[in-house]
Amino acid sequence: MDVTRGSLLFGLLATAGCIETTTPTEPGPVPVPAVDVTTLRCAAPPACAATDAATVDSYPSASDLEARLVGAWWSCAAPTLFGRGIELTPDRQVFELAAATDGSGACARTGPAIAAWSVLDISEQNPPGTYQLEFHWADGRWSVIIPTFTTDVRRLDDEVNAWRFARLQRPVAP
């Protein structure tokens, strides 16, 4: 192939849109800092007794939901498979929380991670912006929550399973 024909062929491919181009990617989510659970009181927050409805059930992106989820949460009902309190870390681990054994009332992790968590977009079969929170337990089980928050992100409700969690610290990012 002579240089003229090669250049012509390259020109035809470029005009046909066959040349690979790089497109700018959107920036990722802002990292959410981990919570120092030892500074939190390990007891039911006032949000457990609140009667206001959790109404935020649609999110602009998975990263928006993840920012709401990261942190320490208190189970407002009797201990469930989650224990009394849980911490969802930015690196997608779940730790069970309980009152520290020193009598301080502070929270402490009870041991290694009990699960990993992830977010799945389920908008295909639901309204746009619908996600589910999945727990992948260390023993191979998995559980799903369809998270709904109060507008101030101080409570997380799951109407499907009748679970309610209250944030043990102020929200990091709504």
Say if 104 falls within a structural domain: yes
Say if 79 falls within a structural domain: yes
- Domain count for the chain: 1
Say if 130 falls within a structural domain: yes
Say if 41 falls within a structural domain: no
Are 168 and 62 in contact by the 8 Å Cβ rule? The answer is no
Say if 118 falls within a structural domain: yes
- Amino acid identity of 32? V
| Per-residue pLDDT, 36 | 82
pTM of the prediction? 0.75
Tokens 């009394």 identify what position?
Answer: 84
- Residue 64 sits in which domain range? 56-174
Burial 148-170 (b: 16+ CB within 10 A, else e): bbbeebbbbbbeeeebbbbbbbe
Say if 26 falls within a structural domain: no
pLDDT in tens, 14-58: 444 444 444 444 444 444 556 788 888 888 999 999 988 899 889
For the domain that residue 138 is a member of, what is the CATH number? 2.40.128
Neighbours of 132 (CB within 10 A): 17
Q: Which two tokens stand for residue 62?
A: 């998975």
Q: Which two tokens stand for residue 44?
A: 């039911």
| Per-residue pLDDT, 73 | 93
CA 127 to chain centre: 19
State how beta strands 85-88 and 71-75 pair: antiparallel
What φ, ψ does residue 67 adopt, rounded to 5°?
-60, -35
Say if 76 falls within a structural domain: yes
Say if 119 falls within a structural domain: yes
CA separation, residue 48 to residues 83, 104, 111, 135, 161 (Å): 15, 22, 25, 22, 16
For each of the chain's 174 residues, which pLDDT tens digit applies?
A: 454 444 443 343 344 444 444 444 444 444 455 678 888 888 899 999 998 889 988 999 999 999 999 999 999 987 667 788 999 999 999 999 998 899 888 889 999 999 999 999 999 999 999 999 999 999 999 999 999 999 888 999 998 888 899 999 754 443
| Per-residue pLDDT, 34 | 67
